[in-house]
Structure 1
């Protein structure tokens, strides 16, 4: 890979654009000498995220925005093919996948904020190009719930998905909050991003996290997913789906990859740009 400066912006958009319920952004950076740094996750609306990205873009050769929201939604109803594959794994883990289709007003209809965001961003949608580019602005779709069973092996198993959303009080589990935060801290430390590791360490000790804290944590996970996509070998991540019907990028342990490949084979969905074959 050409030595250049890059920034990964993790953006948990919260899907709709409400001032009272914003998403969050977080940046992981590398200069041309491969020295890494990061920003502290912060709450942000779509407009604020655009301002944040513009500032980051001005300081690097390559900027990759890892967005936790579907970026390609051509279907009018039901689920995208990639959603079905992701749901097969996440349902097994005990979680759920919200279907993305154009009938969801405020989320994916023609006037939805995500399309205004994409138009104003003007980024390249090609995730494979983002891995090796020496310049440019790229947008990739990621999904923290799909990343977590690879980032934290304890969450890979039947009904083992973490319950770390404090807004869902009856399901929220404080140990899961600490463990997910600790997973972010551990990976940030391994990838030599000390500021993010310190932030995650502090987040793990929050006695009563709020929804905004979870949005910040998810933004950090998005940034880590983008970092791994950019810097690790190709077989350590997976691309489910395509640029026509929609896709997701995620890190992929052997177990996660095997289950996703099997689900993709049943649904006729491509994996890493090719027709899925039996694992």
Structure 2
């Protein structure tokens, strides 16, 4: 992507429900007209607070992309979406799990779930491919930090090598996994030249006993990094699994991760990159 105007990439870990005692978290990576990137540090936020923050970015940026860590299209009444099955093939190999998304989950995806009100009031265009070519407007796409891990850091790319960094899961959480994710974020801060992110990561690493709220803030940053990768890196280094009817996910994709996901998608009859534009990009590749 060639930066023509200003861009805000907003990472939102919604926590799926609108529980005041367990809100999600939101952060922003801003890109100015000179291409300089700056982190707006993550903070806890409800759906309404997140929407207000996203709307406020319109006064700062021409283009806004919201990378949301929650299923955004859930047409199925029960079970898992096809894209969830594909993601689960990789996540389970890494040692984790995927929570199924269906309309039967009250408070998350039923007709009264806060997600639908959030999307309706936000009024964003949900078209990831179009966001790469846009120079203005508000776009939304679904992301999943766990799916991005083995591409963001090859140390996580291996059987049972996914990091265990959720403090709420006491039986599986490891401080080593927590620190490894923070270290991966810090490397991204340096490689992608995001002002303020390395210092923020260093502060987070000093927390001796992380809480779930700390992980939510970390996941919001990961969402924003996925969004940044999607916009500025060559298209072939990312993947879109599924479609905008049955549900999809966008993630960075190293060659080994892409191969594994494409194999699983073929077995599940799920499309991969169904709307990809194969055109030369300013970032150096298709």
TM-score range, shorter chain: over 0.9
Matched, 1:168 2:156: no
C-alpha distance in 2 between matches for 1:125 and 1:249? 12
In the alignment, which residue of structure 2 is the partner of 1:93? 94
The alpha carbon displacement at 1:211 in A equals: 0.4
Q: Mean alpha-carbon deviation: is it higher for 189-198 or for 122-131?
A: 189-198
Q: Contact 2:3/2:33 (CA < 8 Å) preserved in 1?
A: no
C-alpha distance in 1 between matches for 2:226 and 2:240? 12
In the alignment, which residue of structure 2 is the partner of 1:20? 21
In the alignment, which residue of structure 1 is the partner of 2:221? 220
Matched, 1:134 2:135: yes
C-alpha distance in 1 between matches for 2:118 and 2:275? 30
In the alignment, which residue of structure 2 is the partner of 1:267? 268
C-alpha distance in 2 between matches for 1:2 and 1:160? 36
Which runs of structure 2 are paired with 1:69-88 in the superposition (5 Å)?
69-88=70-89
C-alpha distance in 1 between matches for 2:223 and 2:30? 14
CA RMSD of aligned residues (A): 1.1
Task: Kindly tell me the number of residue pairs found equivalent between the two proteins.
Answer: 275
Which runs of structure 2 are paired with 1:38-187 in the superposition (5 Å)?
38-187=39-188
C-alpha distance in 2 between matches for 1:206 and 1:231? 32
SS of 2:196's equivalent?
helix
In the alignment, which residue of structure 2 is the partner of 1:233? 234
Q: Contact 1:188/1:224 (CA < 8 Å) preserved in 2?
A: no
The alpha carbon displacement at 1:57 in A equals: 2.2
The alpha carbon displacement at 1:205 in A equals: 2.4
Report Cα offsets for 1:118-144 as digits up to 9, x if no partner. Answer: 001000000001111011000000000
Gaps (5+ residues) in structure 1? none
The alpha carbon displacement at 1:3 in A equals: 1.1
SS of 1:40's equivalent?
strand
SS of 1:24's equivalent?
strand
Q: Contact 2:186/2:198 (CA < 8 Å) preserved in 1?
A: yes
C-alpha distance in 2 between matches for 1:159 and 1:102? 30
SS of 1:39's equivalent?
strand
The alpha carbon displacement at 1:2 in A equals: 5.5
Q: Contact 1:166/1:209 (CA < 8 Å) preserved in 2?
A: yes
In the alignment, which residue of structure 2 is the partner of 1:189? 190
Runs of 4+ in structure 1 deviating by more than 6 angstroms, as ranges, are none
In the alignment, which residue of structure 1 is the partner of 2:36? 35
The alpha carbon displacement at 1:194 in A equals: 2.1
Report Cα offsets for 1:238-276 as digits up to 9, x if no partner. Answer: 00000010000000011110100000000111111179x
Report Cα offsets for 1:121-172 as digits up to 9, x if no partner. Answer: 0000000011110110000000000011111111111111111011111211
Gaps (5+ residues) in structure 2? 277-286
Matched, 1:198 2:199: yes
Which runs of structure 2 are paired with 1:243-262 in the superposition (5 Å)?
243-262=244-263
C-alpha distance in 2 between matches for 1:170 and 1:82? 28
